[in-house]
Amino acid sequence: MKEKFKIKRWSLRTRIFLSMIFITLIASLLIAAVSIYQFKKEAKVYHQDRLERKEAAIKEHINYILSTTTYPLNTANLPLIFRERIHELANIHGMEINIYDLNGHLLKSSKAAFSVDTINSNIPKSILKVLRSTAEKRYVDLRLSEDNKRFRSSYSYIKDTKFKPLGILNLPYIEDDGYYEKETNNFLIRFAQVYSFMLLISVIIAYFLSSYITKSIKEVSDRIKETRLAEMNAKIDMGDTPQEISLLVDAYNNLVDDLDTSATKLAQSEREQAWREMAKQVAHEIKNPLTPMRLTVQSFQRKFDPQHPDIKQKLEEYSSTLIQQIDTMSSVASAFSSFASMPAQQNETLNVVKIVQLALEIFNENYITYHADETHIITRMDRTQLIRIITNLVKNATQAIEEEEPDPLVEVRVFREGGMAKISVKDNGKGISIENKSRIFEPKFTTKTSGMGLGLGIIRNIVENYHGTITFESTVGKGTEFIVTLPVTSAQGNEEDDKQQTDIKP
């Protein structure tokens, strides 16, 4: 299972390459096996035909001897007839010749040192039985010799001129395959040389063919990896390619078209949804101050008395309430406008220490403390935007402190670190939970019961617009510290402080 899993992870290019090499090797092995089989078959047929030819020639020669002999033609005279001629026959035809009587007893042999007592001089009864039962009166016995060579031994009848059986002719024949073995070895050597060259050619062809086949697929794969929903995706134009690759390219191009259409619809839907949500939020936030304004006007209308001794004070309270609610509505509109598009920057050379101190004057909480390590830390940015950053952070810090906190504390500190000005706003409030830390700068996210959740998002936009950063550290139950980092324009010496103080806006 492990090996099978590894094979499945092979690339298509590797599979095509190895498959072509494997096919070449299998083809070469099959051709070699068929060739060897053919050589062996030819050798077998050759020996069979050669034995038949030898046997036919020897029998013709024997018939000639029988037709010219002076001895009476009977089985008993066969040793006398072939006493001298059997060696002549063996020498002429190059084969060992044995003559048996009809019962399988040896009568005469062409062996040079023949001894009836030392060898088996009888034909096995099984062979005699088969020989008598065949129509051709001929039988060839196949066996292996002591040196593991194939051994053929043919048995056939010797007949007189009237076709009467006189005896049995036995021709032992040892198959000498030396010539065919030599030819087979030579063939395999030449075959190995040719197929080694063919294998090299196959490797080269397989490499380039697999590269060509997978090149188009890899290009499509790379394009698919680069496909993004929110980006313009280029179509593939590969020119003349195989039909299968063309179908794949066409499918990808159709997918790109569908993806672009879907992305356009999705973006439009998201924009519409965002505007719907924004409209609901704006309507909700504007509706909140309208209700107390209406109640205030109705109450004043019912209770208005020009002769009342405190009419001036009541008129001021009434005006103050309306102005407060109008300011709330204005802040709602300004907040959404600021989040949607920042106002044009009015970059000024500012003393961060003085601007932060000025921004803190609107807060009446006595637990807000302020400390600056230096009297002058200069940067360039919009004065209103810097005040907005401070007021928003300090306001969030005061709102994060629980009402039952016995010792509330908000610490504001301005200091320099390296070439950057840093503003720290630290409180001992309830802190920010772990699940909310990643969403703290998201628009419309808030943990308060009031507000729109746009303040920190606006602050981050302002800070990053001036190439600064805003970070925070918070521990649940102990408090939160926001740190705003802004680039410092220059570092003036103490001798120039008084002169610059008259030129720099506080």
Give pLDDT tens digits for 373-409: 999 999 998 888 888 889 889 988 898 888 888 889 9
Q: Which of 341, 368, 386 is the last residue of a domain?
A: 341
Total number of domains in the chain: 3
In one letter, which amino acid is 108? K
Q: Are residues 442 and 493 in the same domain?
A: yes
Mean pLDDT of the chain: 76
The torsion angles phi and psi of 176, rounded to 5 degrees, stand at -95, 105
In SS3 terms, 110-174 reads as CCCCCCCCCCCCECCHHHHHHHHHCCCCEEEEEEECCCCCEEEEEEEEEECCCCCEEEEEEEEEE
Domain that holds residue 289: 227-341
What's the mean pLDDT in 471-497?
A: 77
Alpha helix positions (H), 304-351: 311-340
Q: Are residues 385 and 310 in the same domain?
A: no
Residues 329 and 364 in one domain: no
**pLDDT at residue 274 in the model:** 63
Q: Most confidently modeled of 45-49, 136-140, 350-354?
A: 350-354
| pLDDT given at position 499 | 39
CA of 78: how far to CAs of 65, 72, 104, 363, in Å? 11, 9, 14, 149
Residue 222 within a domain: no
Residue 506 is assigned to a structural domain of this protein: no
User: Which of 341, 362, 389 delimits the end of a domain?
Assistant: 341
Higher pLDDT, 32 or 284: 32
Q: Quick check: 12 pLDDT over 70?
A: no
Helix, strand, coil abundance in the chain, percent, nearest 5: 55, 15, 30
User: What CATH number is given to the structural domain containing 357?
Assistant: 3.30.565.10
For position 39, which CATH number holds?
A: 3.30.450.20
Residues 91 and 15 in one domain: yes
Residues 245 and 98 reside in one and the same domain: no
Q: pLDDT tier at 246 (50, 70, 90 boundaries)? A: confident
Q: Which of 181, 215, 249 is the last residue of a domain?
A: 181
Lowest mean pLDDT among 120-124, 349-353, 416-420: 120-124
Which pTM value belongs to this model?
0.38
183 compared with 83, residue with greater pLDDT: 83
Task: Specify if 218 maps to a domain.
Answer: no
Grouping H, G, I as helix, E, B as strand and the rest as coil, residue 368 is: strand
Q: What is the pLDDT of residue 481?
A: 93
